[in-house]
Structure 1
Amino acid sequence: MDTQCGDLSAQSISNNYSTTAPPEPVHSTGAHRTEGDENAGGFGELTELPIEINERRPTCLCCGRPQKVCLCPFMPVRPLEVSTCLYIVQHPAEESRVLRTVPLLAACLPPEKCKVFVGRRFNEERNPELAAVCRDPKTLVLYPGSDAENLEDMKVDFSASVHNVLIIDGTWSQAKDMFHRNALFRLPKQVQLNSSISSQYVIRTQPTNTCLSTLECAAITLSIMEKNKAIEELLLRPLRALCSFQLQHGAQVHHSKEHLLRNGIYDKPMPTNKRKIKRMEQLVSNSTL
């Protein structure tokens, strides 16, 4: 899930005004202009102003990024060969975000190994393929909680057969809503990562220091299930490059809410809702989210 997981393109601006100015109205000496004459004269002056045309920045056809910040040099030369299939269920709000990690993940893997489904609600009738995956006993859903087993501790030989992993892509509140409102997502075995590493996705705010983006979750998951630590490094390279480019072009490092609260530098109004206040207290006390 984008833990707040994930792509920059400038939009060209079209101008529909005519470049030809209308003829100036003729007035006799000493005559007063009417209100209509004054308006006509005003529009005439506007049409004489120079038209600014913003050209679209050249975009890389492979990664979809502007060529100046192309991420292709940081991608694997060929899609990574993995046996595990990832199924990303993405909240619609993530589609419009400029900085997303799922496109980077999909660019590093074969199309058949990384499938993305966009929506808030999923069911058997509208999503038969996803429903079949959720009913498959070899499917895992990556979502933390008291019912989740640590993926690292599972006594399963994932190389013996092809397994699927379902990952929810969205903010933590969006992911929570999607998980609890979609009965399909609670059919697979629930697993979580026991990793204590800090997120490297520093250009987007996370709830805690150890909350990971969708790409980071997928990278760690694949490295565990494929028993290949190199996969994690290869998948994280474009993420590090993305963050580096953004920071070089004016972006700021986003500390987690946990970090801001612990250091007394959280600058947003504190919530009045009791449930949200409790979550804030959990962040400070490092309790389980």
Structure 2
Amino acid sequence: MELEELTHIDLFEPPTRTTASGAGNRRGRLCTTGCGRPTAVCLCDHLPSPPIETSTKIIILQHPHEARHKLSTVPLLSKSLLHSQTLIGRRLRRGLSPFLDSLHTLAVSNSNIRPNSRRALFLFPSCESSTAIELEEFVSRSRIDGFDLENLVLIVFDGTWKHAKEMLVSSLPFLSNFAVHASLKCDFGVDGGSIYNSELILRREPFGGCVSTMEAVARTLRVLEPNGVAIEEQLLRVLRAMVMFQASYLKPMKPRPKLVNKKMMRKMSDVEELKNENSA
């Protein structure tokens, strides 16, 4: 199968969504026809309608534990983008996605395809097992080589940073055959912030530049898509709404006295007594 033929394969079914009218506003009830969130924090009115159409296809590998996390941004991301697919698992491998299998088969059968001209990217900071190229540099090199950036496939990992790294490493034997490792700019020397740190701390990040899955995809599409700036803003608008809803339900933290164990208290008491004896 030629490379051009694959550009016409679309195995992504558009997500269906209707409004949450009549769902009620009782606490604990879920919006079953729209965003899937509790009706008290329903985001149906903030989701793009219709979902955003992009030339880039997005595949999200979500860790099974993250799929149960209340603050996961993946469900909102999937409902906001037309060409988005979520896979639940701990690694990418043959048999998990027919679409990725087709890319793998094409790359293996066409060993003369240059790495820079591959149609898939997987997004993650550089690590010991794999060195990433910064997204802007990948785009710049592709344009210099005359490679068309349309119809790219973006693969992202969703989970805690520990889980996501494990997912990446275990997926490399499969991914490295047909995808380029790319990353957004990160500062490993700076302690991380959180989702919209200036507005609300939701989840702590390991180092500067780390962001939620939804924000990472938004930033990437800003670079890859012709109308990327508008797409990024639409996705971030949904994320801001989610953050603000969560802010209204967080209880203020009460200051707690620092706990000191008994052994430490005895040691401090002994030191104080010794000082008093010496002064006498």
TM-score of the two chains, using structure 1 as the length reference: 0.62
Paired residue for 2:229? 229
Shift of 1:127: 4.1
Matched, 1:123 2:93: yes
What is the letter of the counterpart of residue 161 of structure 2? W
Paired residue for 1:210? 209
- Work out the CA distance in 2 between the residues paired with 1:216 and 1:73: 19
- Work out the CA distance in 2 between the residues paired with 1:252 and 1:131: 49
**Distance change >3 Å, CA 122–CA 74, structure 1 → 2:** same
- Work out the CA distance in 2 between the residues paired with 1:89 and 1:130: 12
Identity percentage over the alignment? 35
Matched, 1:145 2:132: no
Aligned mate of 2:54, from 65, 69, 82 = 82
Matched, 1:246 2:262: no
What is the letter of the counterpart of residue 184 of structure 1? F
What is the letter of the counterpart of residue 114 of structure 1? S
Match runs of 1:267-286 below 5 Å = none
What is the letter of the counterpart of residue 144 of structure 1? P
Paired residue for 2:34? 62
Residue 61 of structure 2 aligns to a residue whose secondary structure is strand
Shift of 1:199: 4.7
Shift of 1:208: 2.3
**Distance change >3 Å, CA 163–CA 169, structure 1 → 2:** same
Shift of 1:99: 1.2
What is the letter of the counterpart of residue 190 of structure 1? H
- Work out the CA distance in 2 between the residues paired with 1:238 and 1:218: 13
**Distance change >3 Å, CA 77–CA 159, structure 1 → 2:** farther
Matched, 1:108 2:108: no
Residue 117 of structure 1 aligns to a residue whose secondary structure is strand
**Distance change >3 Å, CA 133–CA 93, structure 1 → 2:** farther
1:88·1:167 contact (CA, 8 Å) conserved in 2? Answer: yes
Aligned mate of 1:162, from 147, 151, 170 = 151
Residue 207 of structure 2 aligns to a residue whose secondary structure is coil
**Structure 2: which 5+ runs fail to align?**
1-25, 108-117, 254-258, 260-280
Matched, 1:177 2:177: no
Shift of 1:184: 1.2
Q: Please give the per-residue CA displacement for 1:67-105, whole angstroms capped at 9, x wherever unaligned.
A: 221112222122112100011111111111111100111
- Work out the CA distance in 1 between the residues paired with 2:233 and 2:193: 15
Matched, 1:193 2:192: no
What is the letter of the counterpart of residue 185 of structure 2? N
What is the letter of the counterpart of residue 192 of structure 1? S
**Distance change >3 Å, CA 84–CA 125, structure 1 → 2:** closer
- Work out the CA distance in 1 between the residues paired with 2:27 and 2:242: 23
- After TM superposition, the structure 1 stretch with the greater mean CA deviation from structure 2, 151-160 or 237-246, is 151-160
2:59·2:153 contact (CA, 8 Å) conserved in 1? Answer: yes
Moved over 4 A (4+): 157-160, 195-199
**Structure 1: which 5+ runs fail to align?**
1-53, 254-266, 268-289
**Distance change >3 Å, CA 251–CA 224, structure 1 → 2:** farther
Match runs of 1:21-100 below 5 Å = 57=29, 59=31, 61-100=33-72
